[in-house]
Amino acid sequence: MAFNDESAEKRKSARLAILELANMISVPMSLNAVVRLNVADAIWQGGSNTPLSASQILQRIASTGSDPENLQRILRMLTSYGVFEEHLTNESSPLDGSASERKYSLTEIGKTLVTDAEGLSYAPYVLQHHQDALMKAWPLVHEAVLDPTTEAFVKANGEPAYDYYGKQEEMNELMLKAMSGVSVPFMKAMLDGYDGFKGVERLVDVGGSAGDCLRMILKKYPGVRHGINFDLPEVVAKAPNIPGNAAYPFS
């Protein structure tokens, strides 16, 4: 196939678009980096969300020898995806000598990574989705088309995901924390607008993970006397008991 008009606007935009797609991995990997570095909590320290430069953020999270320029690149990348807001100050930049120093605060998206009073955030979800076992499976996605008999995760890791998580305590705990971080705010919002649990006496949450959803439903609906968290044994073993739940110790 020959393309005669390589300078046509739509060919130029198509080439830019495919380059962006080809490099898209830099976005979740940058997100993973700021979670590992705990940048959101560093900016939010004390609830102020005062814009900070990369060097000021590093003073809160890292020892000497860290590289503010590399952090700034990551922050700028994620600013373009709405995680941070960039503020150009009147002070000159000690990093690159430019007239304005760049500072960063959290947007609403960025705030989802801040650890709340219950120790929860969306940060563990980001880590869970980029753990080594999953990262090993992604390059095998095309094999799901060519040979769908074995899923990519199994090909990469030798066993299905939940078997793998169950055997690795750290991964099991990360999965539980990731689910709690996502489900607690979701469930709060859902319970504000949904009253379908009225009149229910026995409730089974299939795949209930740490039991957060069940706990929140039981708290709002004391009429639900038996709440059963039906999950894998190693997951239920880590799930805290729900006070007042008549189903214990049978969940």
Ligand X SMILES: C[S@@+](CC[C@H](N)C(=O)[O-])C[C@H]1O[C@@H](n2cnc3c(N)ncnc32)[C@H](O)[C@@H]1O
The residue count of the chain comes to: 251
Judged by beta carbon, residue 200 or residue 216, the one nearer ligand X is 216
Contact 205, 228 (CB under 8 A): yes
Is 235 an interacting residue with respect to ligand X (CB under 6 A)?
yes
Tell me the Cα Rg of the chain.
Answer: 23
Question: Bridge partners of 226?
Answer: 202
> Which of 208, 218, 221, 229 touches ligand X (CB under 6 A)?
208
CA distances from 42 to 50, 71, 126, 211 (A): 10, 13, 17, 30
Q: Rule CB under 6 A: is residue 213 a binding residue for ligand X?
A: yes
Nearer to ligand X, 41 or 163 (CB): 163
Shortest CA distance to 228 belongs to which of 203, 196, 249? 203
Burial call 33-55: b when 16+ CB within 10 Å, e when fewer: bbbebbbbbbbbeeeebebbbbb
SS3 231: coil
The verdict on 32 binding ligand X (CB under 6 A) reads no
Least separation in angstroms between CB 147 and ligand X: 24
* Residue nearer to ligand X on the CB measure, 124 or 208: 208
Query: How many residues sit in the footprint of ligand X (CB under 6 A)?
Result: 12
**Shortest distance in whole angstroms from residue 237 CB to ligand X:** 11
CB of 126 to ligand X, least distance (A): 15
Residue 109 in the binding site for ligand X (CB under 6 A)? no
Which residue number is nearest to ligand X in terms of Cβ? 207
Interaction pattern, residues 144-173, with ligand X; x per rule: CB under 6 A: ------------------x-----------
Q: Which stretches of the chain bind ligand X, using CB under 6 A?
A: 162, 179, 183, 207-209, 212-213, 230-232, 235
